[in-house]
Structure 1
Amino acid sequence: MARSTASGTERSRTTPSATLSSTLSAEQLVSIYRLMYLSRRVDDREILLKRQQKIFFQISAAGHEALQVAAGVVLKSGYDWFFPYYRDRALCLALGVTAEELLLQAVGAAADPASGGRQMPSHWSSPKHHIVSQSSCTASQCLHAVGCAEAGRYFTKHPEAAQKHDGDYRQWKDVTFHGDEVVYMSVGEGSTSQGEFWESLNTASNEKLPVIFVVENNGYAISTPVEVNTPGGNISTLVANFPNFHFAEIDGTDPVACVKAFEEAAAWCRAGNGPAFIHGHVIRPYSHSLSDDDRLYRPESEREADALRDPLSKTQMLLLREGILDADGINRLEKEVDEEVRQAADRAVRAPLPEPTKAAILKHVYSEDYDPTSQTLASVPLRTADNQERTMADLINACLRDEMRRDPRIVIFGEDVADASREEYLKQGLVKGKGGVFKLTAGLQAEFGGERVFNSPLAEANIVGRAVGMAARGMKPVVEIQFFDYIWPAMHQLRNELPLMRWRSNGTWSSPVVVRVPIGGYLTGGSVYHSQSGESIFTHTPGVRVVFPSNALDANGLLRTAIRCDDPVLFLEHKRLYRETYGRAAYPGPDYTIPFGKAAKVREGKDITLVTYGATVPRALQAAQKAEREQGIQTEILDLRTLNPYDWEAIAESVRKTSRVMVVHEDMQSWGFGAEIAARIADELFLDLDAPVKRVASMDTFVAYQPILEDVILPQPEDIYQAIVDLRAF
Structure 2
Amino acid sequence: MTPTTVERASFPKLELLRIMLLSREGDRREGILMRQGKGWFQVPGMGHEALAAIAYHLRPDDILFPTYRDRALMLARGMTTREIALDFMARAGSSSDGRNMPAHYSSKALNVFSVATPTGAQCLPATGAAWGIKLAGDDRVVLCSIGDAATRQGEFYEAVCYAIQEKLPIVFVVEDNQYGISTPTRTMLPMRLQVFDEQWVTFVNGRYVNEVYEKSGAAIQKARSGGGPTILWCEIDRLSSHTSADDHRVYRSAEEIEAMFQRDPIKLFAEQLIAEGVLTQEQFEQMQAEIVHEVDAIYQEVERVPLPDPAHVLEHLFGEPPATYKPLPLEPDHEPTTMVAAFNRTLHAAMETFDNIIVFGEDVEDPKGGVFGFTKGLSTKYPDRVRNSPLAEATIVGTAVGLAAMGYRPVFEIQFIDFITPGFHQLASQIATLRWRSKGEWKCPLVIYSPYGAYLPAGGMWHSQSNDGWWAHIPGIRIAIPSTPEDTAGLLWTAIQDDDPTLFLIPKHIFRVRHQVNEYKPVPFGKAAIRREGKDVTVVAWGNTLELAFQAAEHFEQQGISLEIIDLRTLVPCDWETIEQSLAKTGRLVVIHEDNRTCGFGQAIISEMTSVPERFNLLLAPPQLVARYDVHIPFCPELEYAVLPDLPRVIQAIQTTLE
Contact map agreement 1:193 1:230 (CA 8 A) in 2: yes
Report the counterpart of residue 724 of structure 1 in structure 2: 654
The residue that corresponds to 2:296 in the other structure is 342
Note the alpha carbon deviations across 1:616-653, whole angstroms, 9 max, x for none.
00221011111212x22211100000000111111001
SS in 1 for 2:204: strand
Residue 40 of structure 1 aligns to a residue whose secondary structure is helix
Q: Which amino acid aligns with 1:363?
A: E
1:536 CA displacement: 1.2
Which of 378, 395, 398 is the matching residue for 1:465?
A: 398
* Aligned counterparts of 2:256 and 2:561: Cα–Cα separation in 1: 79
Pick aligned residue for 2:54 from 57, 68, 71: 71
Aligned residue for 2:123, secondary structure, equals helix
The CA distance in 1 between the partners of 2:611 and 2:392, in whole Å, is 42
* CA pair 140-699 structure 1, distance change in 2 beyond 3 A: same
Hey, what does 1:108 align to over in structure 2? 90
Q: Which structure 2 residues correspond to residues 387-398 of structure 1 after superposition, within 5 A?
A: 387-398=334-345
Query: CA–CA distance in 2 between the matches of 1:90 and 1:442?
Result: 49
Change beyond 3 A, Cα 1:552–1:43: same
Residue 9 of structure 1: aligned partner: none
Q: Is the 8 A contact 1:389 1:587 kept in 2?
A: no
The DSSP-based 3-state class of the residue aligned with 1:227 is: coil
1:623 aligns to 2:552 (yes or no)? yes
| 1:710 and 2:627 correspond | no
**1:124 and 1:485 mapped to 2: Cα distance?**
34
Q: Where do 1:285-684 residues align within 5 Å? A: 285-357=239-311, 360-368=312-320, 370=321, 386-419=333-366, 433-449=367-383, 451-581=384-514, 584-586=515-517, 588-589=519-520, 592-629=521-558, 631-684=559-612
- Tell me which residue corresponds to 2:132: 151
One-letter amino acid of the counterpart of residue 22, structure 2:
L
* Letter matched to residue 335 of structure 1: A
Q: Tell me, in whole angstroms, the C-alpha distance in 1 between the residues paired with 2:56 and 2:32.
A: 29
Secondary structure in 2 matching 1:688:
coil
Deviation at 1:511, TM superposition (A): 0.8
Is the Cα contact below 8 Å between 1:200 and 1:462 reproduced in 2? yes
Kept after mapping to 2: 8 A contact 1:524/1:705: yes
Shift of the 599–24 alpha-carbon distance from structure 1 to 2, 3 Å rule, reads: closer
CA contact (8 A) 1:379 1:594 kept: no
Of residues 113, 121, 137, the one that matches 1:140 is: 121
Give the direction of change, closer, same or farther, for the CA distance of 1:236–1:703 in structure 2 (3 Å limit): closer
Structure 2 SS opposite 1:237: coil
The letter for the 1-side match of 2:71 is R
Question: Any idea what SS the aligned residue of 1:530 has?
Answer: coil
Report what 2:3 is aligned to: none
List per-residue Cα deviations over 1:570-594 (Å, max 9, x = no partner).
001111122123xx233845xx201
- Residue type matched to 2:20 in 1? M
Alpha-carbon offset, residue 74 of structure 1: 1.9
Q: How many Å apart are 1:722 and its aligned residue? A: 2.8
> Which sections of structure 2, spanning at least 5 residues, go unmatched?
1-7
2:110 is aligned to: 129
Letter in 1 for 2:44: S
Q: Is the 8 A contact 1:704 1:710 kept in 2?
A: yes
Give the Cα separation in 2 of the matches to 1:648 and 1:280.
Answer: 54
Compute the displacement of 1:312 (Å): 0.9
2:187 is aligned with 1:204? no
Is the Cα–Cα contact under 8 Å of residues 411 and 453 in structure 1 kept in the other structure?
Answer: yes
Q: CA deviation at 1:323?
A: 1.3
Letter in 2 for 1:138: T
The 1-side partners of 2:518 and 2:404 are apart by 29
Q: Aligned pair in 2 of structure 1 residues 559, 705: CA closer, same or farther (>3 Å)? A: same
SS of 1:727 mapped into structure 2: helix
| Matched residue, 1:166 | none
Residue 189 of structure 1: aligned partner: 148
Q: CA deviation at 1:379?
A: 8.0
Secondary structure, in 3 states, of the residue corresponding to 1:440? coil
Which amino acid is 1:70 matched to?
A
Q: CA deviation at 1:350?
A: 1.3
| AA of the residue aligned to 1:586 | V
Corresponding position of 2:4: none
Do 2:325 and 2:497's aligned partners in 1 also have CA atoms closer than 8 Å? no
Aligned-residue offset at 1:30 = 1.4
- Listed one character per residue, the Cα deviations across residues 144-178 of structure 1 (whole Å, up to 9, x for unaligned) are 1111111112123xxxxxxxxxxxxxxxxxxxxxx
Post-superposition offset of 1:229: 3.3
Change (3 A) 1:332 1:587: farther
TM-fit CA distance, 1:235: 4.2
SS of structure 2 residue aligned to 1:576: coil
Unaligned runs of 5+ in 1: 1-21, 157-178, 420-432
1:457/1:381 CA distance change after superposition, 3 Å: closer
**2:232 paired with 1:272:** no
One-letter amino acid of the counterpart of residue 727, structure 1: T
The one-letter amino acid paired with 1:397 is N
Secondary structure of 2:410's counterpart equals: strand
CA distance in 2, matches of 1:724, 1:353: 51
TM-score (ref. length: structure 2)? 0.96
Does structure 2 conserve the Cα–Cα contact (< 8 Å) formed by 1:549 and 1:614?
yes
Shift of 1:445: 0.5
TM-score, normalising length: structure 1? 0.87
| Structure 2 counterpart of 1:3 | none
- For the structure 1 residues 295 and 310, does the alpha-carbon distance in structure 2 shift closer, same or farther, using more than 3 Å as the test? same
SS in 1 for 2:195: helix
State whether residues 483 and 511 of structure 2, in contact with CA within 8 Å, keep that contact through their aligned partners in structure 1: no
Displacement of 1:383: 5.8
Q: Secondary structure at the match of 1:362?
A: coil
Select 2:196's aligned residue among 239, 244, 248.
Answer: 239
CA distance in 2, matches of 1:256, 1:319: 11
Letter in 2 for 1:716: D
- Return the alpha-carbon distance in structure 1 between the equivalents of residues 42 and 654 of structure 2: 58
SS at match of 1:416: coil
Q: Percent identity?
A: 41
State the Cα deviation string for residues 706-726 of structure 1 (Å, max 9, x = none): 111111111122321232233
Would you say how many aligned residue pairs link Structure 1 and Structure 2?
A: 650
- Equivalent residue of 2:466, what SS? coil
Letter in 2 for 1:698: R
Question: Which residue is equivalent to 1:175?
Answer: none
Alignment-derived partner of residue 66 in structure 2:
84
Separation of aligned partners in 1, 2:309 and 2:68: 26
Cα-to-partner distance string for 1:508-566 (whole Å, 9 max, x where unaligned):
11011110011111111111111111011111111110111111111111111111111
Letter in 2 for 1:148: A
Correspondence list, 1:27-66, <5 A:
28-66=12-50
Offset at residue 727 of structure 1 (A): 2.4
Q: Secondary structure at the match of 2:237?
A: coil
Cα distance between partner residues in 2 of 1:601 and 1:518: 24
CA contact (8 A) 1:415 1:482 kept: yes
Distance 2:124 2:490 in 1: 31
Quickly say closer, same or farther: Cα 1:402–1:315, change in 2 above 3 A: same
